[in-house]
């Protein structure tokens, strides 16, 4: 009996070397999706004060960041006091009169910020008609 070994061999295909590459790419994609956490930038690097209380964060709030040198940022852009007031008024206008209590500002201030500078920002927020302010802090761990 004659066996033709040449016909049983797989023909070499250029795509055969591509399959392991695709596997590696998908594994890297899954790794970075699980390990990476994409978060919007604050516009400035700050160190919030520490706190013992921890509370859940409301997702429908406006995030205001104040650096140690009293610069105010919203959505990563530096704003003057007037621009901040305009932005706060625009934010509060998104809610109806009945929903004004749902307007929440998340204030993230540097721990080196003076109380007077923080008070000025708080007064701007209150003057816009926003009554709920969440101050972001770090846990004491």
Which CATH number covers residue 120?
A: 3.30.420.270
- 7-24 residues labelled b (16+ CB within 10 A) or e (exposed): eeeeeeeeeeeeeeeeee
The whole-number pLDDT of residue 120 equals: 93
In a domain? residue 43: no
Give one DSSP letter per residue of 88-103, joined into a string: HHHHHHTS-GGGGGG-
**Is residue 78 helix, strand or coil?**
strand
Task: Please tell me the distance from the alpha carbon of residue 41 to that of residue 100, in angstroms, as a whole number.
Answer: 27
My answer on whether 58 and 126 are in the same domain is: yes
In a domain? residue 124: yes
Walk along the chain (141 residues) in steps of 10 and give the mean pLDDT of each run.
Answer: 58 74 92 77 68 59 89 90 91 79 87 91 90 83 65
Parent domain of 17: 5-35
What is the CB-side half-sphere exposure of residue 69 using CA atoms within 13 A? 3
My answer on whether 17 and 61 are in the same domain is: no
My answer on whether 132 and 74 are in the same domain is: yes
The whole-number pLDDT of residue 5 equals: 59
My answer on whether 29 and 81 are in the same domain is: no
My answer on whether 100 and 134 are in the same domain is: yes
In a domain? residue 45: no
Cα torsion at 75, 81, 86, 91 (round to 10°)?
Answer: 50
Task: Please tell me the distance from the alpha carbon of residue 101 to that of residue 113, in angstroms, as a whole number.
Answer: 28
My answer on whether 75 and 128 are in the same domain is: yes
């Amino acid at each position: 009996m004659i066996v033709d070994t040449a016909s049983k061999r797989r023909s070499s295909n250029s795509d055969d070397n591509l399959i392991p590459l695709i596997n590696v790419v998908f594994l890297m994609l899954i790794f970075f999706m699980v390990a990476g956490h994409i978060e919007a930038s604050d516009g400035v690097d700050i160190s919030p004060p520490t706190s013992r209380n921890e509370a859940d964060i409301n997702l429908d709030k406006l995030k205001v960041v104040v650096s140690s040198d009293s610069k105010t940022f919203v959505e990563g852009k530096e704003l003057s006091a007037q621009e901040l007031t305009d932005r706060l008024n625009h934010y509060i206008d998104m809610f109806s009169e009945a929903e004004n209590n749902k307007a929440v500002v998340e204030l993230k201030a540097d721990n080196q910020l003076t109380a007077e500078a923080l008070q000025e920002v708080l007064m701007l927020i209150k003057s816009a008609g926003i009554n709920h302010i969440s101050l972001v802090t770090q846990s004491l761990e």
